[in-house]
Amino acid sequence: MTQEQAKALLCAPGERFEMDTVSVGGVPTRVWKNAPPNLSLLIQFGRSHGDRAFIVHEGERISYDATVRAVAHLATRMREMGVGKGDRVALTMRNLPEWPVIFFATVALGAIAVPLNAWWTGGELEYGMRDSGARMLFVDAERHARLAQCYDALPDLERVFVARARIPLEGKAGAIEDLIGTPDSWASLPDIPFPQTDIHPDDDATIFYTSGTTGAPKGALGTHRNFVTNIMSSGYAAARMLLRRGEPIPDPVPKTMLTVIPLFHVTACSATMMGAIAAGNTLVFMRKWDPVAAMEIIARERVAVTGGVPTIAWQLLEHPDRANYDLSSLEMIAYGGAPSAPELVKRIYQEFGALPSNGWGMTETTATVTMNGGEDYLNRPTSCGTPVATADLKIMDVDGVFEMPVGEVGELWARGPMVVKGYWNKPEATAATFIDGWVRTGDLARVDDEGFCYIVDRAKDIVIRGGENIYSSEVEDVLYAHPAVTDCALIGVPHRTLGEEPVAVVHLSPGTEATEGELQTWVRERLANFKVPVAIRFVEETLPRNANGKILKKDLKEMFADRAAA
């Protein structure tokens, strides 16, 4: 079945994925007709899953019913403290059962949730607080210690609530447990109604900050429609994959998912959690990624879906103790945010018996725009897939003036109901990035004649050697194909006459060996000579990444300071 045939069947009038056209920001936009109108109604729907576990965190098991009770109580208390529509409420903590309660209590009031990167330093967190103008802040004990000295310097901040505090609280800070109790007590909270708030699909819901690999992070202003769109987009992509495989679409069955990506990133909050609530899935949180702990969880909880970034899949595949754990429950390993080696796609299918899946999106698109899964991904392992039915892609020249022909590389532009309104308090950046419903992604890509998208590189990361463009993903794919390489990155370092030259950082699979010369020869035999890394550094650990899985290439450049100086 072709992509268009699958789309016609799934989106036909009266079907689950039927579409409608509405005006979003003055632009006619295809939307999912059956998506819930707002996030408040979504979490209230979660009550229908009853005592099924929503969150599993270490020794804690929190049901859907208990979670929704806690959301209603927290929203009520926040309303009593004056939080209303349009107010910003920040939260910064690791993945805890309290995280979704705070998030949904905020958006249920029509207020704007501001999830701040829990990996940020105190100064970076202060920037996010000041930039968003948050009136209220929820933190865990670690972030409270990092931020406490900043509270009095933030004029908009009125109250701070700390989860699981380990020290006495004073000043603006109080304990969240004083508002809703501890997670193990939420099931016994009285069943009270949600505060009544008039919330429209295109009302403001969130400010998620961009990863900030260059320059100050920008706050992407998301709406309720952006988030509920992802529920339907993920379902549509899964149904399309089954039709393309020639399989019937079964009724939804709740699954258990090992959630490794932090919730302060849209991949976890939007692409994972929203669909999980609609389906009644269980989310298992890990305090910190560890492959042995992950395999123990997969075996114990019968995890069906996991992933996040390719490194996770590699570490599960390559671990010497893998045979000691029953991982047969795995049905899908999905990831995005970073390129993967074609070999990884095959091995997931061959060795786990699980379907590989990846997709493309960004903070500015509230996650999912394209998806690639099943045989489509096995046949096109370097593609991030085709857009979901409500999304459009186009490839533009670097100046954004004309559209490129099929197969040609240019800047990827995306459009659909998942695209955010713009950047918080940054009108110039908004005007430069968001144009008539389209978002300029900054990614260099091409689209083939069947609509499959291939991300070639970040426009700002491209290595230009003597006027020749080197797309890092092309070289990385070749390095990944070497049997010893499990993680790698190509970066550019300054060169006096060439402008830049390519260098690489490589992590080898445990128990394997490869030399710089061997890998250079490997690349030279497969690509033009000017694309061969002039230097390769080896690291013991996998490469440093930000929260959404993107390799921090600016950090790696320090390893080549000797070449830059020369």
Residues 6+ apart with CB under 8 A from 251: none
For 113-125, b/e burial (b = at least 16 CB within 10 A) is bbbbbbebeeebb
The predicted model scores a pTM of 0.86
What value does the mean pLDDT take over residues 106-123?
93
Neighbours of 555 (CB within 10 A): 15
With 70 as the cut, is the pLDDT of residue 432 above it? yes
Contact of 181 with 92, CB cutoff 8 Å: no
DSSP string over 23-61? EETTEEEEEETTS-S-HHHHHHHGGGGTTSEEEEETTEE
**215 band by pLDDT with thresholds 50, 70 and 90:** low
Quote the pLDDT of residue 497. 67
Least confident of 89-98, 109-118, 459-468, 556-565: 459-468
Neighbours of 156 (CB within 10 A): 13
> C-alpha distances in angstroms, 410 versus 205, 400, 453?
32, 9, 12
Question: Quick one: which of 366, 403, 388 has its CA closest to 272?
Answer: 366
The average confidence (pLDDT) of the chain is 92
**214 band by pLDDT with thresholds 50, 70 and 90:** very low
What value does the mean pLDDT take over residues 262-268?
92
Question: pLDDT by residue (tens digit) across 48-68?
Answer: 999 999 999 999 999 999 999
Output the six-digit token pair for 478.
Answer: 């070749």
Neighbours of 530 (CB within 10 A): 16
Instruction: Give the count of alpha carbons within 13 A of 270, CB side only.
Output: 33
- What domains sit in the chain, N to C, each tagged with a CATH number? 39-49+63-220 (3.40.50.980), 467-565 (3.30.300.30)
Percent of the chain with pLDDT strictly greater than 70: 96
Question: Quick one: which of 85, 336, 73 has its CA closest to 187?
Answer: 73
With 80 as the cut, is the pLDDT of residue 565 above it? no
What value does the mean pLDDT take over residues 227-241?
95
Residues 6+ apart with CB under 8 A from 6: 239, 240, 243, 244
Output the six-digit token pair for 332.
Answer: 């899908």
What value does the mean pLDDT take over residues 410-436?
96
| H-run or E-run covering 485 | strand 485-495
Least confident of 182-186, 432-436, 466-470: 466-470
Question: Quick one: which of 142, 153, 87, 149 has its CA closest to 120?
Answer: 142
Percent of the chain with pLDDT strictly greater than 90: 74
Question: pLDDT by residue (tens digit) across 371-407?
Answer: 999 899 999 988 999 999 999 999 999 889 999 999 9
